[in-house]
């Protein structure tokens, strides 16, 4: 597997080795030892796997839990998404900075987003099946949504003038409000 750095040093792109033959392909999607050695550099325990399916134009996010922050390892089973991580760690020199990466069934890329980041994605294909591993459990009482189009964050979402949003995601917090609360 190949690990590719992003503009945010703690957020990594992972490209698994894909073995093609006449039957199709095979790949390891997660291997603990390699993951800890090459990606996080420390023991990392996942406790929950999630699966969501979304139609074209859906935008989910930007979500995070505080406390109970979740590291997330994201991959796409079918379709294509623009996946975004925002550094919301007040002590970080990258506080408020974001990175966006295309993950698709054809590039097989995964995104590692550690604890302390908000996460969201926009669906670029007709549908998208997403699976992700999380380092902490779902705690609805600790869940926050940052406004996907917050002007201060300035995320450059592709072709997403009026995305399909959940009710919760239509009324996200501004980054300014979140900053004032931490």
For residue 132, indicate whether it is catalytic: yes
Check binding of 80 to ligand TDO (CB under 6 A).
no
61 binds ligand TDO (CB under 6 A): yes
* Touching ligand TDO, residues 21-60 (CB under 6 A): 50, 52, 60
d(CA 63, CA 145): 5
Return the residue nearest ligand TDO (CB atom).
Answer: 138
Please indicate whether residue 68 is annotated as part of the active site: no
Assess contact for 84 and 61: CB atoms under 8 A: yes
For residue 141, give every residue at least 6 positions away whose Cβ sits within 8 Å of its Cβ, in sequence order, or none. Answer: none
**Does residue 109 interact with ligand TDO by CB under 6 A?**
no
Residue among 75, 65, 9 nearest 40 (CA): 9
Distant-in-sequence, close-in-space partners of 75: CB < 8 Å, separation ≥ 6? 29, 103, 108, 109, 110, 111, 130, 131, 132
Contact residue for ligand TDO among 47, 53, 138, 177 (CB under 6 A): 138
**Per CB under 6 A, 133 contacts ligand TDO:** no
Residue ranges that bind ligand TDO, judged by CB under 6 A = 50, 52, 60-61, 63, 72, 119-121, 138, 166
Residues forming the active site = 63, 132
């Amino acid at each position: 597997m190949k690990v590719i750095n992003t503009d945010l040093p703690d957020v990594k792109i992972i490209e698994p080795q894909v073995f093609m033959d006449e039957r199709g392909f095979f790949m390891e999607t997660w291997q603990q030892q390699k993951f800890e050695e090459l990606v996080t550099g420390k023991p990392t325990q996942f406790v929950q796997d999630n699966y969501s399916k979304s139609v074209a134009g859906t935008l989910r996010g930007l979500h995070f839990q505080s406390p109970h922050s979740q590291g997330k390892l994201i991959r796409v089973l079918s379709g294509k998404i623009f996946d975004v991580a925002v550094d919301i760690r007040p002590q970080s020199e990258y506080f408020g900075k974001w990175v966006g990466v295309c993950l698709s069934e054809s590039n097989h890329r995964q995104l590692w987003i550690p604890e302390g980041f908000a996460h969201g994605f926009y669906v670029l294909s007709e549908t998208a099946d997403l699976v992700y591993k999380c380092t902490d459990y779902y705690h609805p009482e600790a869940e926050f949504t940052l406004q996907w189009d917050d002007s201060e964050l300035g995320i450059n979402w592709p072709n997403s003038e009026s995305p399909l949003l959940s009710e919760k995601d239509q009324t996200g917090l501004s980054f300014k409000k979140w900053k004032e609360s931490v």
